[in-house]
Amino acid sequence: MNISVNQERLSAELDTLATFSDAPAPAVTRVLWTARDLEARAYFQILCSEAGLSVRQDALGNIFARFEGTEPHLPAVATGSHTDAIPHSGRFDGCVGVLGGLEALRALKSAGFVPRRSLELIMFTSEEPTRFGLGCLGSRTMAGVLSPEKLRGLKDGDGIAFETARSAGGCSGELETVRLPEGCYHAFVELHIEQGPLLEKAGLPLGVVAAIAAPATLRLTIEGEGGHAGARLMPGRRDALLAGSELALAVEKAALSTGAIDTVGTTGFFQIHPGAVNSIPSRAQIEIDVRDIELERRDEVVGQIRAAWDEISERRGVSGALETLNADPPATCAESIVSASQNAAKALDLPFQKMVSRAYHDALFMARLCPTGMIFIPSKGGISHRPDEYSSPEEIKRGVEVLALSLAELAA
Amino acid sequence: MNISVNQERLSAELDTLATFSDAPAPAVTRVLWTARDLEARAYFQILCSEAGLSVRQDALGNIFARFEGTEPHLPAVATGSHTDAIPHSGRFDGCVGVLGGLEALRALKSAGFVPRRSLELIMFTSEEPTRFGLGCLGSRTMAGVLSPEKLRGLKDGDGIAFETARSAGGCSGELETVRLPEGCYHAFVELHIEQGPLLEKAGLPLGVVAAIAAPATLRLTIEGEGGHAGARLMPGRRDALLAGSELALAVEKAALSTGAIDTVGTTGFFQIHPGAVNSIPSRAQIEIDVRDIELERRDEVVGQIRAAWDEISERRGVSGALETLNADPPATCAESIVSASQNAAKALDLPFQKMVSRAYHDALFMARLCPTGMIFIPSKGGISHRPDEYSSPEEIKRGVEVLALSLAELAA
């Protein structure tokens, strides 16, 4: 089959999507159910309709655009990713998989391809944990890992209840309907930027993902004691910032302690109260991210962090319980999907390597529902979650071509 | 002279003043030239006019309320404090000196006292450094320590220029007119809560301040490198939060290293960017407060912090220059004022102790213009800059009585 991807159209659409942002360009900030997120959703639905796909949205705002197959009763082949973006990040993370997925379906249509199984493009709700502290809200709920009850109990940083935010985001219906049965899809393939430096270093245009690292997220509110920075003497202070500082350094130490290159630990959120130069910090809110491709090693690092916190909090006389927001197992990609992507790369004469995804993706949860795989394209300088995140139009085009051929094989 | 302080009226006025707040009660947030600050200023001016004082405001918003003496050409005797409040602080810091000062003047009037020298009550602009990073804007400028040129160069955290903020705050006129000549006042006495635990521990209602500790404020923006928390491997990270955490711990270590109880060091402001759990912090903004009653020891601690930062920033590959926002010398209170306050305490049969002020106050800068002293009343639990800051109505009343008799002696 001769696939023709319209590189200019796709670049222009990625440019337009990037304008729906609460940060000045080139930075992108697009948080769940903000006005910018709703604009991006509307734009995506318009493009899908224009492409002749039938569009539906579930109660959680996951959007499904369908290219009907000749045997529509068969489990469909799905692709997709997310369009939400953490504060001051870039324009390619997630968006390449959503708009690139759309371009793949358009290219297949143009090529006259008629799928036996239907093809579905999914825009997942809130892959990023920005608003409710938990990532992959859409795919996690679809896979039954996150219950509607737990969803309803979530609050954002401003204290807004999940259901209030969902309603303001234009979603209605019972959350119980979001969960999908195992086997509902025949396959899932996600196209994504690597977000790491390996493909660029190896000079390869393509990565076929064999496994997705296991993420864990911890949250903590440290309660110490405030007071006047001048008048309160040093002995007996219970400074929440200093306790938090020690914990952040302990996270780094624990991640380095495994000696494995695949272990990472980051304190990405750190906010103190009251935050005045002449006032001792009485409270610190902290979120920690730990990942590894090996579950046991990841959990050992989490254990080390917990032990460090026990020691720090007791010694400094501050309180606060380390809450586990999520601790997901890693996912292994299905041989059938890996094979389809490899076949596609070979057909297009593109060199590739098999690799691990250190970032997590909606694919991590889709892997619970059906055979799942991922296709990576290079990230310039290995940079992601930053305004200077970049993959070239040619790199994106090649990824879309591989995705299209993979979908074609799986849906044939 | 028989002084009668109206404790109920003063308590009610302190209650009303506390309602002008951007934080829910009992917390008080009242930042320079916000709507709440303007309300507090208007309220104060109304009370002063009702008390028969003549009110004027200078170009920086310092407010002067005058009780004319029989020899109005003589340098006046002044008292006063501030009404601005750092985020989530209490209702007594500063306010006791402003409304208590007003009550002292009213009590003197009611007692039929006719001063030879005029009495002036001053509400100083922005004793707290919250908005422009520098404390005592009003008194610092009056004393000529802060130049109009430097004032005009200030920006707040939102990038609003000082002159824009000043104009929005209803202040006009040349900043050059704010500076006062040495000798313009005969004396200055500030009534204030202790903000420390010593009076309560000693069971004393009164402290007569002999010296005010020397504050220094440092500011720093750390520039590191961001990236995806999952995909960016640990080696070679340049995490701004971790560098800042080490610095905050170095501040504590430096303050403790002197072995002197009077040395304090605090990192009170600490903000990271972008602040998402799955993103490596690329930037940290930090403000540090160091104080001591001995100037050399204070400067040695600052030197240690600078040395620590040089080492941390080089080792972690991050950049950022430690800027000195202020590094003021300590002030010694004038014997004449200390003596007047001691005489007042004795006349009222109140036990007291001579003490050091570890917090700084507008008195630190008024000491450059005229003989200066301070009167302290107890702070419950030594707590200040917190919503639970507390001094009882009786304690405040006694402080006002001592202030009134001190002013009477100095103005007679």
For residue range A286-313, what is the model confidence (pLDDT) as tens digits?
999 999 989 999 999 999 999 999 999 9
Question: Which residues of chain A make contact with B244, given a CB cutoff of 8 A?
Answer: 245
Is B372 contained in some domain?
A: yes
Ramachandran assignment for B121, one of left (phi > 0), alpha (psi -120 to 50 degrees), beta (any other): beta
Question: Which residues of chain B make contact with A274, given a CB cutoff of 8 A?
Answer: 86-89, 385
Give the pair of three-digit tokens for residue B85: 């409040």
- Distance between the two ends of chain B, CA-based, in angstroms? 12
Q: Do A169 and A33 have their domain in common?
A: yes
Cβ within 8 Å, pair A261-B382: no
Is the Cα torsion angle A258, A262, A263, A264 positive or negative in sign?
positive
Which three-class secondary structure state does DSSP give residue A196? coil
How many C-alpha atoms does B7 have within 13 Å on its Cβ side? 10
Distance from the Cα of B86 to chain A's closest Cα (Å) equals: 7
Q: Which of A230, A248, A280 sits opposite B215 (nearest CB)?
A: A230
- How many C-beta neighbours within 10 Å does residue B152 have? 12
Q: What's the per-residue H, E or C state across B268-327?
A: EEEEEECCCCCEECCEEEEEEEEEECCHHHHHHHHHHHHHHHHHHHHHHCCECCCEEEEE
Question: Which residues of chain B make contact with A360, given a CB cutoff of 8 A?
Answer: 230
Ranges of chain A whose pLDDT falls below 50: none
Q: Which of B246, B252, B273 sits opposite A88 (nearest CB)?
A: B273
Is A285 contained in some domain?
A: yes
How many domains in chain A? 2
CB A295 within 8 Å of CB A242: no
Give the pair of three-digit tokens for residue B283: 């930037």
Question: Which residues of chain B make contact with A89, given a CB cutoff of 8 A?
Answer: 274, 276, 279
Note the ipTM here.
Answer: 0.82
Residue type at position B112: G
Is the Cα torsion angle B49, B54, B58, B63 positive or negative in sign?
negative
Is B2 contained in some domain?
A: no
Which three-class secondary structure state does DSSP give residue A275? coil
Cβ within 8 Å, pair B359-A228: yes
pLDDT at A395: 98
Burial class from Cβ neighbours inside 10 Å (0-12, 13-18, 19+) for residue A221 reads: middle
Distance from the Cα of A348 to chain B's closest Cα (Å) equals: 27
Question: Which residues of chain B make contact with A282, given a CB cutoff of 8 A?
Answer: 386
Give the separation between CA B178 and CA A126, rounded to whole angstroms: 54
Distance from the Cα of A340 to chain B's closest Cα (Å) equals: 25
Residue among A365, A274, A253, A355 at smallest CA distance from B266: A274
Q: Which of A130, A233, A264 sits opposite B229 (nearest CB)?
A: A264
Q: Where is the domain boundary, A309, A327, A345?
A: A327
CA B270 to chain centre: 20
Cβ partners under 8 Å of residue A232, min gap 6:
A280, B196, B264, B382, B384
Q: What band does B103 get if pLDDT is binned at 50, 70 and 90?
A: very high
Give the separation between CA A78 and CA A70, rounded to whole angstroms: 16
Cβ within 8 Å, pair A274-B87: yes
Q: Do A257 and A337 have their domain in common?
A: no
Is residue B89 less than 8 Å (CB to CB) from chain A?
Answer: yes
Q: Where is the domain boundary, B327, B362, B381?
A: B327
Q: Do B249 and B236 have their domain in common?
A: yes
- Tell me the per-residue pLDDT of B110-157, one tens digit each, with 9 for 90 and over: 999 999 999 999 999 999 999 998 999 999 999 999 999 999 999 998
Q: What's the per-residue H, E or C state across chain B?
A: CCCCCCHHHHHHHHHHHHHCCCCCCCCEEECCCCHHHHHHHHHHHHHHHHCCCEEEECCCCCEEEEECCCCCCCCEEEEEEECCEEEEECCCCCHHHHHHHHHHHHHHHHCCCCCCCCEEEEEECCCCCCCCCCCCHHHHHHCCCCCHHHHHCCECCCCCEHHHHHHHCCCCCCHHHCCCCCCCEEEEEEEEECCCCHHHHHCCCCEEEEEECEEEEEEEEEECCCEECCCCCCCCCCCHHHHHHHHHHHHHHHHHHCCCCCCEEEEEEEEEECCCCCEECCEEEEEEEEEECCHHHHHHHHHHHHHHHHHHHHHHCCECCCEEEEECCCEECCHHHHHHHHHHHHHCCCCCEEEEECCCCCHHHHCCCCCEEEEEECCHHHCCCCCCCCCCHHHHHHHHHHHHHHHHHHHC
CATH number for the domain harbouring residue B40: 3.40.630.10
Which three-class secondary structure state does DSSP give residue A106? helix
Q: Do A205 and A116 have their domain in common?
A: yes
Cβ partners under 8 Å of residue A344, min gap 6:
A401, A402, A403, A404, A405, A406, A409
Q: What band does B93 get if pLDDT is binned at 50, 70 and 90?
A: very high
Is residue A21 less than 8 Å (CB to CB) from chain B?
Answer: no
pLDDT at A358: 86
Q: Do B97 and B224 have their domain in common?
A: no
Interface test with A, best of B209, B246, B266 (most A CBs within 10 A): B266
Give the separation between CA B219 and CA A194, rounded to whole angstroms: 37
Is residue B391 less than 8 Å (CB to CB) from chain A?
Answer: no
Is residue B244 less than 8 Å (CB to CB) from chain A?
Answer: yes
Cβ within 8 Å, pair A383-B227: yes
Residue among A286, A328, A269 at smallest CA distance from A130: A269
Which three-class secondary structure state does DSSP give residue A411? helix
pLDDT at A166: 98
Is residue A213 less than 8 Å (CB to CB) from chain B?
Answer: yes
pLDDT at B2: 86
Q: Which of A87, A89, A226 sits opposite B386 (nearest CB)?
A: A226
Q: Do B251 and B314 have their domain in common?
A: yes
Which B-chain residues 265-304 have CB contacts (< 8 A) with chain A? 265-282, 287-289, 291
Closest alpha carbon within chain B to A251? B242
Which three-class secondary structure state does DSSP give residue A189? strand
CA B194 to chain centre: 12
Is B1 contained in some domain?
A: no
Cβ within 8 Å, pair B278-A266: yes
Is residue B213 less than 8 Å (CB to CB) from chain A?
Answer: yes
Is A2 contained in some domain?
A: no
- How many C-beta neighbours within 10 Å does residue B220 have? 21
Is residue B159 less than 8 Å (CB to CB) from chain A?
Answer: no
Q: Which of B130, B195, B231 sits opposite A384 (nearest CB)?
A: B231
Is B344 contained in some domain?
A: yes
Q: Where is the domain boundary, B309, B327, B345?
A: B327
Is the Cα torsion angle B146, B149, B151, B153 positive or negative in sign?
negative
pLDDT at B359: 86
Question: Which residues of chain B make contact with A249, given a CB cutoff of 8 A?
Answer: 242, 245-246, 249
Domain that holds residue B178: 7-213+330-411
Give the separation between CA B327 and CA B218, rounded to whole angstroms: 9
For residue A24, cis peptide bond before it (omega within 30 degrees of 0): no
Above 90 in pLDDT, residue B358? no
pLDDT at A341: 98
The residue to which tokens 């996270």 are assigned: A251
The CA-atom distances, in angstroms, between B95 and each of A41, B30, B82, B156 are 52, 11, 6, 24
Is residue A240 less than 8 Å (CB to CB) from chain B?
Answer: no
- Tell me the per-residue pLDDT of A340-349, one tens digit each, with 9 for 90 and over: 999 999 999 9
Question: Which residues of chain A make contact with B229, given a CB cutoff of 8 A?
Answer: 264, 266, 268, 289, 291, 385
Residue A249 — φ and ψ, nearest 5°?
-70, -35
Q: Do A249 and A119 have their domain in common?
A: no
Give the separation between CA A385 and CA B227, rounded to whole angstroms: 5
pLDDT at B360: 87
Interface test with B, best of A199, A278, A290, A316 (most B CBs within 10 A): A278
Helix or strand holding residue A407 (H, E): helix A393-411
- Distance between the two ends of chain A, CA-based, in angstroms? 12
Give the separation between CA A319 and CA B306, rounded to whole angstroms: 31
Question: Which residues of chain A make contact with B270, given a CB cutoff of 8 A?
Answer: 241, 270, 272, 275, 281
Q: Do B249 and B358 have their domain in common?
A: no
Q: What is the DSSP string of A147-183?
A: -HHHHHH-B-TT--BHHHHHHHTT--S-GGGS---TT
pLDDT at B114: 96
Is residue A385 less than 8 Å (CB to CB) from chain B?
Answer: yes
Residues making up chain B, counted from first to last: 412
Give the separation between CA B295 and CA B226, rounded to whole angstroms: 39
Residues paired with B221 in a beta bridge: B285
Distance from the Cα of A24 to chain B's closest Cα (Å) equals: 14
CATH number for the domain harbouring residue A227: 3.30.70.360
Give the separation between CA A206 and CA B32, rounded to whole angstroms: 56
Q: How many CB pairs under 8 A join A and B?
A: 241
For residue B274, cis peptide bond before it (omega within 30 degrees of 0): yes
Q: Do B300 and B362 have their domain in common?
A: no
Q: Which of B231, B241, B287 sits opposite A277 (nearest CB)?
A: B287
Is A13 contained in some domain?
A: yes
Q: What is the DSSP string of A288-323?
A: EEEEESSHHHHHHHHHHHHHHHHHHHHHHT-B---E
Distance from the Cα of B72 to chain A's closest Cα (Å) equals: 38
Give the separation between CA B94 and CA B122, rounded to whole angstroms: 11
The CA-atom distances, in angstroms, between B41 and each of B23, B33, B56, B106, B360 are 18, 9, 12, 19, 22
Is A86 contained in some domain?
A: yes
Closest alpha carbon within chain A to B251? A242
Is the Cα torsion angle B198, B200, B204, B208 positive or negative in sign?
positive
Q: Do B165 and B47 have their domain in common?
A: yes
Cβ within 8 Å, pair B282-A386: yes
Q: Do A398 and A280 have their domain in common?
A: no
Q: Do B134 and B257 have their domain in common?
A: no
